[in-house]
């Protein structure tokens, strides 16, 4: 890396956000392209973000009784085909193992694109009585979907995710679990990643292949495009019937169980980059940042500076996720740029004069604001600052989402709004898939969801003008 | 499950340990067979053991500077072929993806059997100067090896593991890392899993495909057979040369880096079962047990029993990994059997008379010994008991290993020892692979390792009688 620093090396976000995104992924050392086309290598800094997401989410899961498991990565073709809509949805994008151990296989095996089918065969074996229910199981694993166009994190052929799969005694209990998990996802994205979400239900066209109902959390990126950030599905008995997942109910009769599944993935890292980043690089909310505070000494060659820097690091390292940069082959300016590129929430600068005054300088990444603080107040100062950065980053996204959300009553208005500035559009919809399709053709905007928080903005469909009672949020998507 | 309880339903360990093993895996609900031949589903109870192993190990890793990453599950054929010994070793047992996204692939992709090749291509991209070194990266992931004969956990086609891959500036540093990680594995197996290990170096015949040196921890199972429980490899420049992993050294010259890799897997769960289990089922050391203590009320219908049981549970649940069994459709006897089958280290029994006396009964799984304890002393009592169980389980394995280890000076003696009782045999070896092969043919015992702790038991090879200065531990293996 050159001494010129990072800033000049990345594309301007307002000129070409796609290229900017790729630059950030690579310069911040989050991930890299590999010889396996469409698949990325997640580097330590990127993976540490994923670990923080995992830890937070897994704890929330377990508080609601989720248990982790592991099911095979390979699924026989005959299993994948058991649920009609499911195979139609996934068959075009699976990868097939046809040879193994030096021989052609009798039946080819796909690499899981999702695991409803293989898990359902086991649930069928394990379930016998209502007393066994519910099964509330999850797995953290890799999945593969052979996408034609790929982008690191946002749409990678292989990605990491968790997939929860539950079965229940009653439809009501399953439906409640579907919403419960959606709420956990909203918590993760809003409170950990500092990105506001819209919670709602997908339309028939946009729901998961094989589901009765799909719920989603939708987020808005820097450029006003939407990112589907987590989904939770209610299957009813769509899989439990073909997979024969039944139990003796309280009346002593055989009944098919009610099923759900839900997932979030490494796509969230793409969301973090796109929601918060700027022309200096990544910007990480403190709660998810692998490094929350980095100390950079100034004039390190001067007597006592290095020692004092190390002393400060030692004092703080058990309280915050800290790093110290003692390299002597790059300038402080280079180190500052690097901190900013990597989105480290707070940088501490400390030089001879600061030491003399018993102070240091805190530079926050979100606003680049500098403040001087007495060394004796550093711990509570950092604590407050990190909390403030977390809140401020959320607020900035929230304001952006508000300012880039418009209302449309007619198709002309819809198109004009979208042409003026990419963002979310709230509009009434009659429930007809043809209207949805027409809007997509005209504006490239898809229905994001029917938000739980409905607003009354009219009584007629934005497309066909017929009676409509559902408000839909629309937007172009990643 | 029937009221007859578990005990009668499992095969006697001394009659047919293979069948006993399968029975335990299924009855203790650790794992199950799936429609994907040779691949298992790890059930919540089995997976919780793996999570405890992961948490313990990952913490130790991070204390030594290991960083987690993720690399693609698919490896192009051309990459796998770059290191000659490596492809020879792994080609026969890989699975190939030949079709994806509805098309035949131009180059087939294997599912990783291990990731040296794909990781090496990225290390080559990321490394430029000695200042970048070392890379000490690891991934927790799934791998696939198309074994002909499979057994749950011990030899499954797909298994979960961690694979660490490091590169270093000097051979010495890489060699030290190889041993450092072996020592962490020994710590995990001895201190968490309560199974004593023999640390040593593999012979040329038994080393990893592509390594200069392979180090191992070997453990002994109930029946005297060996289980290779973790390995750490020093590669020298075997991969860094073909993969062009070089850096500018301190003298300004280009040099190839020095590499290691190391791994442990879900096979350790198989080791836990086989080292500790008995005719009542699984026996888990407290430190790794998902449930350390289970409370079973006696005469639950009697006034106050249920309440007192819950009260006790509430008191203890933040201190120990606890469960409470309040089912009213099975007898206490059934619950006891289930606790034993699942290997729960301590069971608390509490009934009306105990409550009257302010007491409860502790039953330890390792010895089945019962003690009565005053309720006010329960916390420290449990703490001591769990610690004692952990120690005792280790001691039992240690004594078994000692009693089933013999010394042989001649091939006749070797064969006689092995025929008498399966176990480890210490014998001198000349270093010739032909002698190793001959011993294997005659006795089915393979060289386990050349232990770090060498003993002088003679000066001539147990096979050919020529001069020998290496003591080798031999044994039949899982």
Phi, psi values for residue B364, rounded to 5°: -90, 135
Q: Which residues of B touch A48 (CB under 8 A)?
A: 67-68
Backbone angles phi, psi at B457, to 5 degrees: -115, 10
pLDDT band at B85 (very low <50, low <70, confident <90, very high): confident
- Give pLDDT, residue A1: 38
Contact A147, A93 (CB under 8 A): yes
pLDDT per residue as tens digits for the range A374-413: 999 999 999 999 999 999 999 999 999 999 999 999 999 9
Q: Supply the pLDDT for residue A3.
A: 40
Cβ atoms B415, B443 nearer than 8 A: yes
User: What is the Cα Rg of chain B in Å?
Assistant: 25
CA distances from A223 to A11, A220, B426 (A): 15, 8, 69
For residue range B124-144, what is the model confidence (pLDDT) as tens digits?
A: 999 999 999 999 999 999 999
Q: Which of B44, B67, B118 sits opposite A36 (nearest CB)?
A: B118
pLDDT in tens, A93-123: 999 999 999 999 999 999 999 999 999 999 9
B416 touches A at CB < 8 Å:
no
Burial of residue A238, with CB atoms counted within 10 A of its CB: 0-12 exposed, 13-18 middle, 19 or more buried: buried
Return the pLDDT at A9.
Answer: 81
> What is residue B4's predicted lDDT score, i.e. its pLDDT?
44
CB B460: neighbour CB atoms within 10 A?
16
Diameter of chain B by CA atoms? 83
CA pair distance A290, A54, nearest whole angstrom: 13
Whether residue A8 is predicted with pLDDT greater than 60 in this model: the reply is yes
Separation in Å, CA of B410 to nearest CA in chain A: 39
Q: Is A42 on the interface with B (CB under 8 A)?
A: yes
What's the rounded Cα separation, in Å, for the pair A190 and A287?
11
Does B285 score more than 50 pLDDT? yes
The nearest alpha carbon in chain A to B329 belongs to A131
Q: What is the tens place of the pLDDT at every residue in B227-268?
A: 999 999 999 999 999 999 999 999 999 999 999 999 999 999
In the stretch 110-149 of chain A, residues with CB closer than 8 A to chain B read: 111, 118-119, 121-122, 125-126, 131, 137, 141-142, 144, 146, 148
Which two tokens mark B217? 């921890």
Q: What share of chain B is helix, strand, coil (3-state, %, to 5)?
A: 35, 30, 35
Confidence of residue A7 (pLDDT cuts 50, 70, 90): low
* pLDDT above 80 (res B397): yes
Average pLDDT (A168-184) is 98
Mutation site for A-interface testing, chosen from B1, B41, B48 by largest number of A Cβ within 10 Å: B41
pLDDT in tens, B95-115: 999 999 999 999 999 999 999
Confidence of residue B7 (pLDDT cuts 50, 70, 90): low
- Mean pLDDT, rounded, of chain B: 96
pLDDT per residue over A212-221, tens digit each? 999 999 999 9
Backbone φ and ψ for B409, nearest 5 degrees, come out as: -105, -20
Q: Helix (H, G, I), strand (E, B), or coil: what is residue A219?
A: strand
Alpha carbon B307 to chain centroid, angstroms: 41
ipTM: 0.96
At A462, is the secondary structure helix, strand, or coil?
Answer: coil
- Residue among B71, B94, B98 whose CB faces A98 most closely: B98
Q: List all residues of chain A from 318 to 357 with a beta carbon under 8 Å from chain B.
A: 327, 329
Query: How far does the CA of residue B271 sit from the closest CA of chain A (Å)?
Result: 19
pLDDT mean over A145-163: 97
pTM over 0.90: yes
Question: On the CB side of A419, how many CA atoms lie within 13 Å of its CA?
Answer: 7
User: Is residue B5 scored above 70 in pLDDT?
Assistant: no
What's the rounded Cα separation, in Å, for the pair B162 and B137?
10
Based on the number of CB atoms within 10 Å of its own CB, is A34 exposed (0-12), middle (13-18) or buried (19 or more)?
buried
pLDDT in tens, B362-383: 999 999 999 999 999 999 999 9
Please report the pLDDT score of residue B43 as a whole number: 98
pLDDT at B2 (0 to 100): 39
Residues 284-313 of A with CB under 8 A from B: none
pLDDT of A2 strictly over 50? no
Q: Which residues of A181-216 are buried (b: 16+ CB within 10 A; e: fewer)?
A: bbbbbbebbbbbbbbbbbbbbbbeebbbbbbbbbbb
Decide if pLDDT at B3 tops 80.
Answer: no
Q: To the nearest whole angstrom, how far is the Cα of B294 from the nearest Cα of chain A? A: 18
Both structure tokens of A157:
């052929």
Residue range A226-273, pLDDT digits in tens: 999 999 999 999 999 999 999 999 999 999 999 999 999 999 999 999
Position A349 pLDDT exceeds 50: yes
Any idea which of A27-31, B83-87, B329-333 has the lowest mean pLDDT?
B83-87
The predicted model gives B432-459 an average pLDDT of: 96
Helix, strand, coil percent content, chain A, rounded in steps of 5 = 35, 30, 35
CA distance A306 to chain B (A): 19
Work out the pLDDT band at B8, boundaries 50, 70, 90. low
């Amino acid at each position: 890396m050159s001494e010129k620093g990072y800033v000049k090396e990345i594309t301007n976000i307002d000129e070409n956000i796609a290229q900017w995104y790729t630059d950030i992924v690579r310069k911040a050392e989050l991930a890299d392209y590999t010889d396996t086309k469409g698949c990325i290598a997640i580097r330590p800094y990127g993976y540490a973000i994923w670990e923080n997401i995992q830890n937070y989410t897994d704890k929330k899961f377990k508080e609601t009784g989720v248990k982790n498991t592991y099911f095979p990565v390979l699924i026989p073709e005959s299993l994948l085909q058991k649920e009609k809509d499911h195979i139609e949805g996934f068959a075009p994008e699976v990868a097939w193992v046809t040879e193994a151990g030096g021989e052609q296989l009798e039946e080819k095996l796909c690499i899981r694109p999702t695991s409803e089918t293989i898990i359902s065969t086991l649930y069928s074996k394990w379930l016998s009585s209502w007393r066994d229910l519910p099964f509330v199981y999850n797995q953290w694993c890799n999945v593969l979907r052979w996408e034609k166009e790929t982008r690191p994190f946002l749409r990678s052929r292989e990605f990491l995710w968790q997939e929860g799969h539950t079965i229940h005694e009653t439809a009501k209990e399953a439906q409640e679990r579907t919403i419960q998990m959606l709420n956990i996802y909203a918590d993760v994205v809003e409170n950990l990643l500092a990105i506001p979400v819209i919670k709602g239900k997908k339309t028939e066209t946009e729901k998961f292949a094989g589901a009765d109902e799909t719920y989603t959390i939708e987020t808005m990126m820097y450029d006003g495009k939407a990112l589907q950030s987590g989904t939770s599905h209610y299957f009813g008995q769509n899989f439990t019937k073909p997979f024969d997942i039944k139990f003796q109910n309280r009346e002593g009769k055989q009944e098919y169980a009610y099923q759900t599944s839900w997932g979030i993935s490494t796509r969230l890292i793409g969301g973090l980059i796109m929601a918060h980043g700027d022309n200096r690089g990544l910007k990480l909310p403190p709660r998810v940042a692998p490094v929350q505070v980095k100390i950079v000494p100034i004039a390190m060659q001067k007597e006592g500076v290095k020692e004092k820097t190390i002393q400060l690091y030692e004092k703080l390292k058990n309280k915050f996720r800290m790093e110290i940069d003692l390299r002597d082959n790059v300038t402080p300016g280079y180190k500052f740029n690097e901190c900013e590129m990597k989105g480290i929430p707070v940088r501490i600068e400390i030089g001879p004069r600061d030491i003399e005054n018993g102070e240091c300088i805190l530079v926050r990444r979100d606003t680049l604001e500098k403040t001087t603080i007495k060394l004796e107040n550093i711990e509570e100062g950092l604590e407050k600052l990190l909390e403030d950065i977390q809140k401020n980053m959320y607020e900035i996204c929230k304001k952006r989402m508000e300012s880039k959300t418009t209302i449309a009553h007619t198709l002309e208005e819809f198109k004009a709004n979208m042409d003026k500035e990419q963002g979310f559009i709230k509009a009434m919809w009659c429930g007809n898939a043809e209207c949805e399709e027409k809007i997509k053709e005209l504006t490239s905007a898809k229905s994001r969801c029917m938000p739980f928080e409905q607003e009354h903005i009219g009584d007629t469909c934005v497309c066909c003008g017929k009676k409509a009672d559902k408000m839909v949020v629309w937007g172009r998507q990643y």
